[in-house]
Structure 1
Amino acid sequence: MSSWLRDTGPRGGPLWAGPRRASSWECSGRWVRPRAGGLDARLVSFGQAARADFLREEPTGMALGFVDEPTASRALSACDVLALPFLDGLSERRCSAMAGFAHGCCVATTLGSSTGPSLRKADFFAATPAADVAAYVRLLSELLRDARRRGELGGIAAAAYRSQYDWPGVSAVLRAQIERLRSEPR
């Protein structure tokens, strides 16, 4: 257990993090939770919509709201699963997903109209179709019960982030392309 989780986190079963937004992912005003599979998990909510009413619905949860970078990093590092059910699917422009990958989180997300071909082929996160809420809830339940798979996905995610999205990896690719262009005959 991380010191952040022990000192400030919610008490209970596995920890998962995700957005708290009014969308089709909420049922009767309540967040879609992996409890549908009988699992008592704790939810940490980040960002603008993390409010006191969330805690009334999720008494074992924690609404962080906006936090500084070190707190966000500690919270992400403590999560068992980072739940990101985007209505239009995962894309490279999702900062929350990139932060999760960089931290080696097991990311559970969706594929939809915003998901490009490279992410559709990627193996460093778990996903369901954006419109299939039941499949997404099953995926969360499965991941929260399978520590080995979470660890594998987190390790692959961190490596993929370093090689494909982090500046040193991106700049190395750019430098190689520039050198290739310079060496081509004119």
Structure 2
Amino acid sequence: MDMLQVFHMNKGQGEASYAKNCTVQKKILSLTKSFVEEAIEGYFDNDFPETMTIADLGCSSGPTALAAVSEIIDMVIERCRNMDRHSSPKIMVYLNDLPGNDFNGVFELLSNFQNKFKKEKGDDFEPCFIAGLPGSFYGRLLPNNTLHFVHSSSSLHWLSRVPQLKDKNTPSISTYKISITKNLIGV
């Protein structure tokens, strides 16, 4: 059985769908925003590309699919304003997830996503190009030196082994119940 084809979040808008069950992922994005912002600021201290290439590994689908890249693009535009740059770089975004991800659902969101940025940012918004990149991030997804910024907010559950923890009492350890079926199990 090819695991890349089997594992994916539930598609659509049903009760068990990812779209209806992604509140933890939204919270993770909120809690890590300052770290992402610091990384963006640090990047522009050293470089200012004409085109910035971003990847979101494990983008999933539903309401959070474009949330991370939306925040990252906002941060890039804001950083450029703070640096008195006349424009932000053109942005190329790769949305990565396993092949079974509902990329069609994600692509349906793109028109509103682009229009929102054009309306909010006006002349400060350079073109943003977005592509789906199905595959596992365990293997090579793109050629060397392709990406400027890589984001992955909640994909630790796909690691092949549990990482060594220095602090076993860290709030990073989940005490929530998880489910790959309708029956809850403790972790």
TM-score (norm 1): 0.27
**Which has the larger share of helix?**
1
TM-score (norm 2): 0.27
